[in-house]
């Protein structure tokens, strides 16, 4: 019997069942594949019906800021040429004969900036455009322009570039002096090349300095996310005003970013636009922090201000009557917190301007007037550190062994006892002790005499010279 007819009948039956099954599947089901909100012409209600009004208002405010300010934020891309280090061959005098001179590579980098004028002036970070061979700027409408470098200031990390365009959108500058911790902070930029990225956080702190990032520091700290590519972009308040220039992050931590206050940046980029460089005020002193020990030794109630450890001969401070050992407590009515604060205020006060300074001297406050000079004209003092031979003998009450410097200007620390008072205070071998309790110590005999007058438990103020720097130390005899 031929089996094929049975197989044919079986296939026909299976096919018929499949058709029936598929026909059933093609019928419309009463269960929808997904739920769509009735806020979008759907039938389902939103999971949360009553959203607090303040949350909706905040959300709308952020959206409005993005729409208003983003058009004035630009994407900056640069190309620079850097030397390639060849550690195995660079020292070989025949290397350049074979390879035709120093080898270089082209580096590309990304950053952000913001338009401050309708004719194309853009503020950014100096490190974004420094040493760039070419600079391209892309606007929010995706138009790309070649930019020219106007000027940069590496001490504050601020630079200005310009594109040839007209009727451009611009930012509005706010007042960074009014910022307080806890206020909203919005950052807009191009992190990792992602155009027009907006992040939101708060002002974490203001007045951050001594970070080792720039020469002049007064950073705004924020937890609004700042990533590579955000550098040079604006930090905004809830009014959409620029209050800072995003500059740096702490790589080891999250939510720690720093921005240059716009009030500090304005005079800098204004000078860059006007003349391509920055001029800063100069007093003609070297200064150091006032520690608790130094404050008590000088009779100052609080450890604030900047202690003058040297006055440059012929400089503005010398002409104004400042002395070594003065503590500068205020400049033009602003209380001085520390040396970095004084440095910023003097730099911003202006060249040729007369500044009013308050100093603490011999237990009382004095008012002096000083005409600030240009920092670029400051004398470059150079003094080689004198070689010192280790002396022989017994250490004094401070744990020091000293010998004559040879120039009648102090005694050289030949050795320092590791567990001595001087070592704890930070005095090092090679330091030249110039005075003890403001009494000159031109030689070892005078040094011993002055030191012998101090009783146990008394405080000492020691002025020492280390290289080109003069430093005060506060010690207590045990």
Three-state helix/strand/coil letters over 195-244: CCEEEEEEEEEEEECCCCCCCCCCEEEECCCCCCCCCCCEEECCCCCEEE
What's the pLDDT score for residue 90? 47
Q: Is 90 helix (H, G, I), strand (E, B) or coil?
A: coil
pLDDT at 326 over 90: yes
Least confident of 126-140, 209-223, 340-354, 375-389: 375-389
Q: Which residue has tokens 């390879």?
A: 99
pLDDT at 213 over 80: no
339 membership: H or E segment, kind and range: helix 339-349
In the chain, where are the structural domains located? 69-87+103-162, 176-275, 281-377, 400-476
Please give the class, per CATH, of domain 176-275.
Answer: mainly beta
* More confident: 202 or 48: 202
Same fold, 69-87+103-162 and 176-275: yes
pLDDT in tens, 86-105: 444 444 554 455 455 555 55
pLDDT in tens, 414-433: 888 877 888 888 898 888 99
Catalytic: which of 126, 127, 341, 396?
127
Q: Does the annotation count 341 as an active-site position?
A: no
Contact indicator for 368, 357 with CB cutoff of 8 Å: yes
pLDDT at 449 over 90: no
Mean pLDDT of 450-471: 81
Q: Which residues of 352-386 are buried (b: 16+ CB within 10 A; e: fewer)?
A: eeebebbbbbeeeeeebebebbebeeeeeeeeeee
Mean pLDDT of 302-320: 90
| Range ranked top by mean pLDDT from 91-95, 117-121, 211-215 | 117-121
CATH H-level, domain 400-476: superfamily? PDZ domain (2.30.42.10)
Mean pLDDT score of the chain: 82
What's the pLDDT score for residue 28? 56
pLDDT in tens, 279-302: 888 898 888 889 898 898 889 988
Q: Does the annotation count 154 as an active-site position?
A: no
Whether the model pTM is above 0.85: no
Catalytic: which of 77, 112, 153, 157?
157
Q: Does the annotation count 396 as an active-site position?
A: no
* More confident: 235 or 130: 235
**Contacts with 308 (C-beta within 8 Å, 6 or more apart), sequence order:** 285, 286, 287, 317, 322, 323, 324, 325, 326, 327, 328, 359
Mean pLDDT of 114-139: 94
Catalytic: which of 231, 297, 435, 470?
231
- Name the CATH code of domain 69-87+103-162 (choices 3.30.565.10, 1.10.645.10, 2.40.10.10, 3.40.50.2300): 2.40.10.10
Contact indicator for 37, 46 with CB cutoff of 8 Å: yes
pLDDT in tens, 334-379: 999 888 889 888 988 888 889 999 999 999 999 999 999 988 777 6
* Topology of the domain covering 281-377: Pdz3 Domain (2.30.42)
Contact indicator for 171, 69 with CB cutoff of 8 Å: yes
pLDDT in tens, 162-180: 999 999 999 999 999 999 9
């Amino acid at each position: 019997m031929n089996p094929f007819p049975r197989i044919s009948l079986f296939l026909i039956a299976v096919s018929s069942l499949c058709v029936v099954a598929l026909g059933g599947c093609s019928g419309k089901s009463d269960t929808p594949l997904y739920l769509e909100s009735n806020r979008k012409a759907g039938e389902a209600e939103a999971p949360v019906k009553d959203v607090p009004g303040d949350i909706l208002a905040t959300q709308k405010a952020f959206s409005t800021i993005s729409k208003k300010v983003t058009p004035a934020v630009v994407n900056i891309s640069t190309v620079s040429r850097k030397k390639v280090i060849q550690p195995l061959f660079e020292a070989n005098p025949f290397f350049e004969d074979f390879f035709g001179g120093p080898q270089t590579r082209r580096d590309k980098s990304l950053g952000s900036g913001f338009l401050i004028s309708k004719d194309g002036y853009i503020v950014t970070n100096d490190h974004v455009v420094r040493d760039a061979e070419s600079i391209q700027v892309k606007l929010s409408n995706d138009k790309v322009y070649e930019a020219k470098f106007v000027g940069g200031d590496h001490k504050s990390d601020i630079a200005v570039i310009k594109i040839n365009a007209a009727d451009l959108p611009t930012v509005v500058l706010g007042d960074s002096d009014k910022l307080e911790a806890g206020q909203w902070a919005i950052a807009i930029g191009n992190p990792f090349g992602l155009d027009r990225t907006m992040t939101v956080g708060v002002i974490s702190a203001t007045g951050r300095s001594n970070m080792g990032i720039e020469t002049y520091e007064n950073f705004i700290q924020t937890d609004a996310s700042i990533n590579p590519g955000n550098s040079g972009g604006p930090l905004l308040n809830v009014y959409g005003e620029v209050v800072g220039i995003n500059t740096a992050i702490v790589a080891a931590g999250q939510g720690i970013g720093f921005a240059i206050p716009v009030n500090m940046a304005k005079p800098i980029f204004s000078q860059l636009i006007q003349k391509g460089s920055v001029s800063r005020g100069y007093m003609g002193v070297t200064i150091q922090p006032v520690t608790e020990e130094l404050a008590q030794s000088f009779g100052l109630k609080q450890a604030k201000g900047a202690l003058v450890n040297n006055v440059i001969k012929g400089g503005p401070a010398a002409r104004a009557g400042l002395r070594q050992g003065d503590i500068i407590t205020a400049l033009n009515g602003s209380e001085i917190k520390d040396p970095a604060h004084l440095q910023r205020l003097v730099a911003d006060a202006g060249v040729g301007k007369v500044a009013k300074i308050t100093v603490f001297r011999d237990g009382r406050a004095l008012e002096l007037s000083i005409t600030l000079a240009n920092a670029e004209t400051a004398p470059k003092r150079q003094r080689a550190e004198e070689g010192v031979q280790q002396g022989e003998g017994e250490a004094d009450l401070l744990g020091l062994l000293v010998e004559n410097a040879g120039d009648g200007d102090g005694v050289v620390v030949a050795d320092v006892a590791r567990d001595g008072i001087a070592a704890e205070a930070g005095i090092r071998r090679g330091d030249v002790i110039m005075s003890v309790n403001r009494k000159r110590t031109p030689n070892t005999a005078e040094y011993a005499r002055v030191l012998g007058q101090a009783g146990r438990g008394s405080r000492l103020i020691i002025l020492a010279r280390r290289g080109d720097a003069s430093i005060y130390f506060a010690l207590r005899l045990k």
